[in-house]
Amino acid sequence: MDMQSFLDELIKTGKEYAEKGQKLAEEQLNIASEGDERTATLDGMKKGAIAAGVLALLLGTSSGRKLTGSALKIGSLAAVGGIAWKAWENWQKQQTTGTTTEAKEPAALEPPKSLSVDKLQGKEAEERSQTLVKAMIAAAKCDGKLDEAETETINKQIQKLGLGSDIEDVLKSGVVTPLGAKSVAKMADDKETAAEIYLVSMLVTDPENKQEKQYMNALADALELPDEMVKELEGYR
């Protein structure tokens, strides 16, 4: 399973997870640790079911946290890319319209510096998808640190899901050492990527949770997203 495909399934599962509640994802974690039962279960699982298990781990099932409305509105990797690009385009138009009443031709829009995540291929797709997965983990873990026992439990569950070494490494590193808002922001090379990071972070945060709201405010500042762009992105909550 490549990282881009995994991320797409993770986001799609987020929509189903938000619709049906936490029980769906928790059930996917009930996988035998070895033997024929484990093999049969993994062989019969769809990627979406595996992603549900991962999403449960990211959110921390013991705390009872659930996805909010943004998961229902976004729902796919293509939507993440399209929404981020549209927010960037609208912001660009605001910058080029001008504030004077004098009639004039609008300035040409600056072309985007990168393709949206759903349109990337090869190494670029892998790197951007890793960035977004790391951003989701950071956002999901922003409201508290895990102790050693919780970390070990999560890492064992990740390994049992059989995702492949590359994806496992990204997930485990994120769990052991969750990134702060400033570190997440350093992974964005341009405003388009910054908008995607902000969007996927919205998927796993609740604006009613004080710590998570503070994290999202800090993330917007660190990403240097204009207020107008943040406002448009927040419209998808």
For 29-51, the pLDDT digits (tens) are 555 556 666 555 555 555 666 67
- Using one digit for the tens of pLDDT, what is the confidence trace for 181-237? 999 999 999 988 999 999 999 998 888 888 889 999 999 999 999 999 999 999 998
Burial class (CB in 10 A: 0-12, 13-18, 19+), 166: middle
153 has a pLDDT exceeding 60: yes
Specify whether the CB–CB gap between 192 and 113 falls below 8 A: yes
More confident residue, 112 or 196: 196
Are 176 and 151 contacting, i.e. CB atoms less than 8 angstroms apart? yes
Please state, in angstroms and as integers, the Cα–Cα distance from residue 91 to each residue in 196, 203, 209, following that order: 15, 22, 28
* SS3 assignment, position 209: coil
pLDDT, residue 127, reads: 93
Q: What percent of the chain has pLDDT over 70?
A: 76
How high is the pLDDT of residue 25?
56
Which tokens in the block code for residue 32?
């035998």
Global pTM reads 0.82
Provide, rounded to the nearest whole percent, the portion of the chain with pLDDT above 90. Answer: 32
Q: Tell me which of 69-78, 101-110, 213-222 is least confident.
A: 101-110
Looking only at Cα atoms, what is the longest distance across the chain? 75
Residue 53 or residue 8, greater confidence? 8
d(CA 156, CA 218): 31
Q: What is the pLDDT of residue 101?
A: 41
Q: Which of 82, 123, 118, 116 is nearest to 190 (CA)?
A: 116
Question: pLDDT class for 79, splitting at 50, 70, 90?
Answer: very high
